[in-house]
Amino acid sequence: MGKDVVEDTLRTIFLAVQDLIKYDYNLMLQFGFATINIIDKNMKVTFAPYLTTEVKDKEFELTMRRSNSPVAELWKTNTTSVF
């Protein structure tokens, strides 16, 4: 699928959600990591327990980092070696 097809599909889905809310429908959108409930035009998001546990873990930030050095230092190092 091309980028334009994906963009059009997402745009259509969001427009459908807006229309359903506008006409007072209640929605429950279930994703793997969260559930979005829209009831009486109020939205509530509930995240999956595994996600909140994983993000709260002290090691999470360290595993997500690509580097522990400051960005400015990395840029200086890379530009010096390239030029």
Specify the pLDDT at position 60: 74
Could you tell me where the beta strands, DSSP code E, fall in 1-83? 27-30, 34-39, 42-47
Please tell me the predicted confidence (pLDDT) of residue 26: 95
User: What is the separation of C-alpha 63 from the centre of its chain, rounded to a whole number of angstroms?
Assistant: 18
Residue ranges covered by each domain of the chain: 3-82
Q: Cite the DSSP H helix spans in 1-83.
A: 3-22, 49-56, 58-64, 71-82
pLDDT tens digits in sequence order for the chain, 83 residues long: 788 999 999 999 999 999 999 999 999 999 988 999 999 999 999 999 888 777 777 777 777 776 677 767 666 655 556 55
Can you give the pLDDT at residue 20? 94
